[in-house]
Amino acid sequence: MARQIFVNLPIRHMERAKAFFAALGFSFNPQFTNEQGACMVVSETIYVMLLVEPFFQTFTKKPVADARAATEVLICLSCDSREEVDTLVRKALAAGGTAPNAPQDHGFMYGHGFEDLDGHVWELMWMDPNAAPPHA
């Protein structure tokens, strides 16, 4: 069985967060979605659990970081092309997100990203493995 990853992110408003990510083309598994949490499907092996802050807090004794004021994690997703990177950033901006950094073009690798409505940083990258510099 392939290993799966479940990224858990605290959010403030469930319906607002679901609408934002739906606008980017992501779907939700209704079997694991309710008013406290939503299971966003990124791929067959990657899921993001959007958890309202009070519910998220039940999983940790530490304070929950406010992603709008501090960076708690950088989420990086691979894309199939430069165009997909740009398209997802455009969709995020149209849905109310922000792009805090300019795109980075390194020839063999291209990246850009956005912050979602709760301030979580989503980096998007495309890389041509055949053009990557050799490993020293």
Half-sphere exposure at residue 131, Cβ-oriented, CA atoms within 13 angstroms? 8
Q: Which CATH class is domain 5-127?
A: alpha beta
Tens digits of residue pLDDT in 45-65? 999 999 999 999 999 999 999
> By the 8 A CB rule, do 125 and 111 touch?
yes
With a cut of 90, say whether residue 75 has pLDDT above it: yes
Average pLDDT over the chain, rounded to an integer: 94
CA distance 101 to 81: 19
Task: Express as a percent the part of the chain with pLDDT over 90.
Answer: 88
Rounded CA-CA distance 110/126 in Å is 5
The torsion of the CA quartet 104, 45, 52, 74, rounded to 10 degrees, works out to: -20
pLDDT digits (tens, 9 = 90+) for 79-134: 999 999 999 999 999 999 999 999 999 999 999 999 999 999 999 999 987 876 66
- Listed by start position, the domains of the chain span 5-127
Q: Counting beta carbons within 10 angstroms of the beta carbon of residue 97, is it exposed (0 to 12), middle (13 to 18) or buried (19 or more)?
A: buried
CA distance 119 to 131: 33
